[in-house]
């Protein structure tokens, strides 16, 4: 067997220790598949003394992970520190500049600095891989970059955040409200102590921007992902949606729309027959539609130490075999700079929830605003239960341009019939 | 841009012409992703004059496809002729021996001769790729070989034949019987004029044996795939299963069972919550369970010219980029020779359908045979409708060793209460 691939691990949190355990436990099998052993030669983290539940005594400890970039005994630097900037970014830049391969699970880093890093990587000839950055264990980066390489892909979407999907499917299962389910999820470790990053959609937006670049051959454009999380979704919305034949999921959706890039993370209504409608819990799933392949679906565990480690080590096996291609399927210089699409002319059905004063005439006021804006209503539910002095009205529109809905809501702005800003959720067709 | 990858196409049926159309339509995009153009330089098929709906005038025509193996202007031979032996096998052997890369969509060829071809390929250093051989457009070969490379996988299963899945889900949708649905499927081109290969499970068995070798690192063993098709499944079975909370799908299932290889293609009952239970029509889906990744699911179009061409051209893009690994993830010599597992000690629930004489005492006779063999019955349905003098009895057992069911059925063999051999379908847990 030829020389081992020598890996330096920066970061020993749950993912880092998962990688250590995986490489030890599956060592022989990995060597058979990689054609040579994969050896961890050095590790680094902030606190050397922390108890991590894995034996690190066989590996050289480095107090300064930055030194990995210039360590002659290291072939690959594995960045598992996290954070879009700071030490993770510095390490990634330095390593790639120095010609070291870089493997990372850091979606924020790639979404925000992926173009710069890919350019550095291409200049020095060092591979940059990030399978673990999207959908955990699911080999969706490879599947799209290589498996679907023959296709023009104009649409990619999916369930990209396990915490949000867990919360929404738990709300659906037992009718509890958002805050209650989130607290329960935090208690069992399915949501972070500070969950903002997940529940506000930022994490899904990072992943979506990476998928869009890969699928469309366009430059990363995280800044233009229209992002709305799940904090406004109520138990009543889920109940109304279900009554109308839909479930609610946080969907990241990207489309190349007449050469312009449309990217949105949004709670969506999915018809029950949609392949993503049955996906419960922390599972992730990505759908890409190719012009020859048709609809491809990739599904699996989106987070957790084992699944994420599985993706990190898949990248290491690729490096050990040699011949990894470009990070974004083609040289960064070949990616197109697409403008962000305008959303107003997009057409579709939508769900709109109004929180209204419980008095005569409100419904007529809303209906008139919809009519005047050219929005035709397919169904309307006014649930019996109300919250104090307010009532809820849930509307599903017929297919209509989004700008018409905006116009209707603008008409209603300031009306004292409305007790809160209306909530709009788009409907994804099957 | 560097030199083009020069491809010779052997076979111009639906897949071959699909490849021609795809390479022409997506030419620029493919070149960007592959890093160089992919050019068809020569084509060959049995009948030059047949109208194929694509313009072949730009390509050199070869009357003898065997000459591709020694053609200095060809880098890759694309075998789309079909058939496990004959011209396809001769072409594959010759091309690989001569050091030409070989891309094929031919599952029968790989299932039966894959070990020999991989050995020839390794000896000459020529790549052998067959993404299109399993699950059409779905990049499941790459996903398992590379994306899941870090994992010990001990179980892989899926819906591997689109014709069978189309027939079963159509039977389910409208209660029609097998023959009627099959005729309708043939009329619209969803089943071949001679459907034996599909409906008897052979095609799924070919694919299963390929998946097993890839996942387990074992040598291909098509000969030991226990195979039963869908010809015995009746509308009544589907109705009974549904009443008990199950659907019926043809499942290829492989497991490494204490170092022994278990491979079975069989109509199975799946609980409605199972991710494969909702898959209707000609869709294929594969589930693999890795020891770190957890359950991965890959889903998409399993057949058709466009989807199959998508997978064939994905292999060509890999070749153009360089650095394809071993066909079965590791050298053929590193694959283990696993014995076939015995099935009798396998445990699970099962569905057993009896066609019985419509007379008193039959149920008691069956129940006694089950009891004496140690099979405990979870539920039993005796549908009202009967066929002439016969009645149906459908039983679902509790979890039990398969040999116990065999024993019970042996006791009943020859009983004049039974009007036909009982039908056993195993139940796959969620």
- The residue ranges of DSSP E strands in B62-216, in sequence order, are 76-79, 101-104, 128-129, 153-159
Q: Is residue B127 less than 8 Å (CB to CB) from chain A?
A: no
Q: Does B123 touch chain A (CB under 8 A)?
A: no
B133 touches chain A (CB under 8 A): no
Q: Which residues of B touch A150 (CB under 8 A)?
A: 22, 26, 30, 309-310, 313-314, 316-317
Query: Do strands A400-401 and A60-61 pair parallel, antiparallel, or not at all (unpaired)?
Result: unpaired
Q: Do A142 and B138 touch (CB under 8 A)?
A: no
For B95-126, the pLDDT digits (tens) are 999 999 999 999 999 999 999 999 999 999 99
Residue B406 exposure: Cα atoms within 13 Å on the Cβ side:
8
Closest chain A residue to B313, measured at CA: A150
Cβ-contact A98, A66 below 8 angstroms: no
Chain B interface, mutation test: which of A149, A283, A325, most B Cβ atoms within 10 Å?
A: A149
Q: Does B54 touch chain A (CB under 8 A)?
A: no
- Residue B430 reports pLDDT greater than 80: no
Interface residue of A145, A293, A314, A430 to substitute, partner B, most B CBs within 10 Å: A293
> What pLDDT is recorded for position B191?
87
SS3 call for B340 = strand
Mean pLDDT (chain B, rounded) = 94
pLDDT for res A384: 62
Q: What does the pLDDT look like over B28-66, one tens digit per residue?
A: 999 999 999 999 999 999 999 999 999 999 999 999 999
Give CA–CA dist B56/B12, Å, rounded.
10
Dist CA A15 CA A30 (whole Å): 18
Contact state of B314 with A35 under an 8 Å Cβ cutoff: no
Length of chain B: 430
Buried residues in A237-265 as b, exposed as e (16+ CB within 10 A): bbbbbeebebbbbbbbbbbbbeeebbbbb
Contact B290 A137 (CB under 8 A): yes
Contact call for A149 and B314, based on CB within 8 A? yes
List all residues 6 or more positions away from B273 whose beta carbon is below 8 Å from its beta carbon: B430
Which chain B residues are Cβ-neighbours of A278 within 8 angstroms?
275, 278
Contact A263, A208 (CB under 8 A): yes
Q: Smallest Cβ distance to B293: which of A33, A301, A318?
A: A301
Answer whether A430 touches B (CB < 8 Å): no
Mutate to test the interface with A, among B7, B17, B139 (most CBs of A within 10 A): B139
Q: Which of B109, B381, B99 is nearest to B239 (CA)?
A: B381
**pLDDT given at position A190:** 84
CA gap A263, A90 in Å, rounded: 28
Q: Indicate yes or no: CB of B151 within 8 angstroms of CB of A307.
A: no
Pick the residue from chain B with its C-alpha nearest to A288. B300
Q: What is the mean pLDDT of residues A130-140?
A: 97
Write out pLDDT tens, residues A319-365. Answer: 999 877 889 999 999 999 999 998 888 999 999 999 999 888 899 99
**CA of A375 vs chain B CAs: smallest distance (Å):** 34
Say whether residue B180 is in contact with chain A using an 8 A CB cutoff. no
Which residue among A149, A152, A316 places its CB closest to the CB of B317? Answer: A149
User: B163 pLDDT band (50/70/90 cuts)?
Assistant: very high
| Closest Cβ opposite residue B147 in set A139, A293, A295 | A139
Please tell me whether residue B231 adopts helix, strand or coil conformation.
Answer: coil
Q: Does B321 touch chain A (CB under 8 A)?
A: yes
Mean pLDDT of B123-137: 96
Exposure string for A175-184, b = 16+ CB within 10 A, e = fewer: ebebeebbee
pLDDT beyond 70 at A386 = no
From the list B207, B349, B359, B419, the catalytic residue is B207
Confidence of residue B390 (pLDDT cuts 50, 70, 90): confident
From the CA atom positions of chain A, what is the Rg in Å?
Answer: 24
d(CA A242, nearest CA chain B) in Å: 18
Q: Which residue has the tokens 């030059």?
A: B48
Report the C-alpha gap between B394 and B413 in whole angstroms: 17
How confident is the model at residue B199, as a pLDDT?
97
Separation CA A89–CA A84 (nearest Å): 7
- Say if residues B139 and A143 touch (Cβ distance below 8 Å): yes
The alpha-carbon gap from B138 to the nearest alpha carbon of chain A, in Å, equals 6
Contact A271/B at CB under 8 A: no
Asked if A300's CB is within 8 angstroms of B295's CB, the reply is yes
Burial of A208 (0-12, 13-18, 19+ CB in 10 A): buried
CB atoms within 10 A of CB B278: 18
Task: Please check whether residue A228 is in contact with residue A266, taking contact to mean a CB–CB distance below 8 angstroms.
Answer: yes
Query: How far is A212 from A154, CA to CA, in rounded Å?
Result: 9
Q: What are phi and psi of A163, to 5 degrees?
A: -60, -50
User: Which member of A152, A275, A326 has the closest CB to residue B29?
Assistant: A152
How sure is the predictor about A382, in pLDDT bands with cuts at 50, 70 and 90? Answer: confident
Residues of chain B numbered 333-362 and touching chain A (CB < 8 Å): 334
Which pLDDT score, from 0 to 100, does residue B387 have?
59
Q: Is residue B134 a contact partner of residue B211, using CB atoms and an 8 Å limit?
A: yes
* Alpha-carbon gap, residue A268 to A428, rounded angstroms: 7
For residue B317 the two structure tokens come to 């893009």
What pLDDT shows up at residue A373? 96
Is A301's CB within 8 Å of B314's CB? no
pLDDT in tens, A168-195: 999 999 999 999 999 999 998 888 888 9
Give me the count of residues in chain A.
430
The pLDDT, as a whole number, for residue B134 is: 98
Contact A309, A137 (CB under 8 A): no
Find chain A residues with C-beta within 8 A of B299's C-beta: 275, 296-299
Distance linking the first and last C-alpha atoms of chain A: 50
> Which residues in chain A are contacts of B326 at CB distance < 8 A?
35
Mutate to test the interface with B, among A147, A152, A290, A315 (most CBs of B within 10 A): A147
Q: Shortest Cα distance from B147 to chain A (angstroms)?
A: 5
Instruction: Name the percent of chain B lying above pLDDT 70.
Output: 98
Give the residue from A198, A208, A219 showing the smallest Cα distance to A155.
A208
Following DSSP, what letter does each residue of B96-112 receive, concatenated? HHTT-EEEE--HHHHHH
Answer yes or no: do B298 and A297 touch at CB < 8 A: yes
Give the mean pLDDT of A32-57.
94
Give the angle A193-A198-A200 at the CA atoms, nearest 5°. 110
Please answer whether residues B14 and B32 qualify as being in contact, where contact means their C-beta atoms are separated by less than 8 angstroms: no
* Residue A270: CA count within 13 A, CB half-sphere: 23
H-run or E-run covering B240: helix B235-243
The answer for B 25-44 residues in CB contact with A (under 8 A) is 25-26, 29-30, 32-35
Q: Which residues of chain B make contact with A147, given a CB cutoff of 8 A?
A: 131, 138-139, 142-143, 311, 314
Does A97 participate in catalysis according to the annotation?
no
Q: Using the predicted structure, report yes or no on whether residue A387 has a pLDDT greater than 80.
A: no
| B310–A146 CB contact, under 8 Å | no
Of A207, A349, A359, A419, which residue is the catalytic one?
A207
Neighbour count for residue A203 (Cβ, 10 Å): 27
The Cα–Cα gap between A382 and B280 comes to: 35
> B115: helix, coil or strand?
helix
Phi-psi region of B194 (alpha: psi -120 to 50; beta: other; left: phi over 0): beta
Give, as one character, the DSSP assignment of residue A146. I
Mean pLDDT of B390-412: 94
Closest C-alpha to A27, from A230, A241, A316: A316
- The DSSP annotation for A174-235 comes to H---HHHHHHHHHHTTSS-SS-HHHHTSHHHHHHHHHHHHHHHTB---GGG-EE--STT--H
Which one is predicted more confidently, B381 or B17? B17
Residue B288 at interface with chain A, using a CB cutoff of 8 Å? no
Say what the pLDDT of residue B141 is.
Answer: 97
Over range B369-392, report the average pLDDT: 84
In this complex, the residue of B139, B150, B306 whose CB is nearest that of residue A314 is B150
Closest approach of A408 to chain B, Cα-based (Å): 38
A220-252 pLDDT, tens digit per residue, is 999 999 999 999 999 999 999 999 999 999 999
Cross-chain residue pair A26–B151, CB shorter than 8 Å: yes
- Tell me the shortest Cα–Cα distance from B154 to chain A, in angstroms: 13
Distances, alpha carbon B279 to alpha carbons A188, B162, B248, B251, in Å = 32, 10, 11, 12
In the A/B pair of chains, how many CB contacts fall below 8 A? 201
Q: Give Rg (Cα) of chain B.
A: 24
Question: What is the spatial distance between Cα A29 and Cα A239, in angstroms, rounded to a whole number?
Answer: 48
| ipTM computed for the complex | 0.95
Question: CA-CA distance, B245 to B415, in Å (whole number)?
Answer: 31
Q: What is the mean pLDDT of residues A401-416?
A: 94
Q: Looking at residue A333, what DSSP letter applies?
A: G
Q: How far, rounded to the nearest angstrom, does the alpha carbon of residue A363 sit from its chain's CA centroid?
A: 38
> pLDDT, tens digit, for every residue of A279-288?
999 999 999 9
């Amino acid at each position: 067997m030829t020389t081992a691939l020598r890996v330096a691990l920066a970061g020993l949190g749950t993912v880092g220790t998962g990688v250590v355990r995986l490489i030890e436990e599956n060592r022989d099998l990995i060597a058979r598949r990689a054609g040579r052993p994969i050896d961890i030669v050095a590790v680094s983290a902030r606190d050397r003394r922390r108890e991590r539940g894995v034996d690190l005594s066989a590996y050289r400890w480095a107090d300064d992970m930055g030194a990995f970039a210039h360590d002659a005994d290291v072939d690959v630097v594995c960045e598992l520190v996290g954070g879009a900037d700071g030490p993770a970014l510095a390490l990634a830049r330095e390593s790639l500049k120095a010609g070291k391969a870089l493997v990372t699970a850091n979606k924020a880093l790639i979404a925000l600095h992926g173009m710069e890093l890919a350019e550095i990587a291409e200049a020095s000839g060092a591979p940059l891989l990030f399978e673990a950055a999207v959908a955990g264990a699911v080999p969706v980066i490879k599947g799209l970059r290589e498996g679907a390489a023959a296709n023009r892909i104009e649409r990619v979407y999916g369930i990209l955040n396990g915490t949000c999907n867990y919360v929404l499917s738990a709300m659906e299962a037992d009718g509890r409200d958002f805050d209650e389910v989130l607290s329960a999820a935090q208690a069992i470790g399915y949501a972070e102590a500070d969950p903002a990053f997940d529940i506000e959609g930022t994490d899904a937006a990072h992943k979506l921007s990476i998928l869009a670049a890969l699928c469309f051959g366009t430059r990363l454009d995280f800044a233009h992902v229209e992002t709305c999380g799940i904090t406004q979704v109520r138990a009543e919305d889920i109940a109304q949606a279900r009554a109308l034949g839909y479930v609610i999921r946080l969907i990241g959706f990207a489309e190349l729309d007449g050469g312009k890039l449309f990217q949105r993370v949004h709670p969506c209504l999915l018809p029950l027959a949609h392949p993503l409608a049955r996906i419960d819990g922390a599972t992730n799933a990505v759908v890409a539609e190719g012009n020859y392949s048709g609809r491809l679906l990739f599904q699996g565990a989106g987070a957790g130490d084992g699944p994420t480690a599985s993706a990190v080590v898949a990248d290491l096996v690729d490096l050990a075999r040699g011949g990894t291609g470009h990070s974004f399927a083609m040289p960064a210089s070949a990616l197109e700079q697409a403008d962000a699409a305008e959303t107003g002319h997009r057409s579709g059905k939508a769900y709109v929830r109004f929180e209204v004063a419980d008095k005569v005439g409100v419904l007529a006021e809303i209906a008139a605003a919809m009519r005047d804006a050219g929005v035709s209503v397919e169904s309307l539910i006014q649930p019996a239960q109300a919250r104090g002095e307010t009532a809820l009205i849930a509307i599903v529109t017929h297919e209509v341009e989004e700008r018409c809905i905006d116009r209707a809501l603008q008409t209603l702005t300031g009306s004292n019939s409305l007790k809160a800003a209306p909530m709009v959720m788009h409907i994804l067709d099957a």
